Chains A and B, each alone.
Chain A
Amino acid sequence: MELYNGPLDVKEIFGRWLDEEAESNYGAYIPFVGTIRAEGGIEALSFDIYEPVLKLWFDGWQRKAEARGAIVKMAHSIGDVPVHTSSYISAVFSPKRRVALELIDEFVEDFKANAPIWKYDVISGKRVYAEDRSTPMDGAGLLK
């Protein structure tokens, strides 16, 4: 898991991941790229991350992937990420395509639902919590 201040250098990271696993005998490599779209007058999105819980969440996914003979990788931005650049990339490597196709779907969806990351719209230099696009995590409401 890699965290960066500002936008991701997508080509460098994907290229490096490919090199890292070049001799690992995986038959499938499926990358996912999340790019900031220009909409709603935003200049950028901005992110807060709670790294200790994110790391535990990611470690759990590494174990799930390993049980299926695969590995997952991810990188995410902290702070401001301008439109048309990328804040999140992930990838699955597996011996055969079917596991990789299924895992990238499950991994990215669970990422959206349970990774402890908070998103803000940046409009005229101000950060506004993207509350309407945010999802309560599993177990939310315990203290209500």
Chain B
Amino acid sequence: MIKVEFLGPIGKAPVEIEAKTLADVSAKLKEDETIAPWLGKCAVAVNDTMVKELDFALKSGDRVSILPPVCGG
């Protein structure tokens, strides 16, 4: 199982899903109408490292973080 957590203002509790790559995560999250609108503007980290490849391979126990637009300072 992969844990997906939603950071900052998304305001949704973490979910656990089956996924072999981030493409699988994308497909699953698109089914959630509260999350789908965020996906176009969110970055992604796996185990706290930023990732930019959709075919990134996941293994059981990995933690995927969804990071919405930022504004520090």
Contacts and interface: CB of A to CB of B under 8 A. Distances in A.
Interface of A: 34, 47-48, 50, 52-53, 56, 76, 87-88, 108, 111-120, 129-131, 133-144
B70 A142 contact: no
Contacts, number: 113
Interface in B1-48: 7-9, 22, 25-26, 29-30, 39-45, 48
Nearest to B27: A143
Q: Report the interface size class on chain B.
A: 20 to 34
List the 8 shortest-distance A-B pairs measured between CB atoms, nearest first: A118-B8, A117-B72, A134-B69, A129-B9, A137-B43, A143-B26, A52-B48, A144-B40
A120 B43 CA distance: 19
A111 B72 CA distance: 7
Contacts of B61: none
A143 B32 CA distance: 13
B50 A138 contact: yes
A34 B42 contact: no
B7 A139 contact: no
Interface centre among A50, A112, A115 (most CB of B within 10 A): A50
Contacts of B29: 143
B54 interface: yes
B8 A50 contact: yes
Interface string B43-61: 1110011111010000000
A88 B72 CA distance: 8
Contact of B43 (A118, A130, A136): A136
Given A115-B70, A118-B71, A135-B69, A56 B48 contact: yes
Contacts of B49: 56
A131 B48 contact: no
B8 A48 contact: yes
Contact of A134 (B40, B48, B54, B71): B71
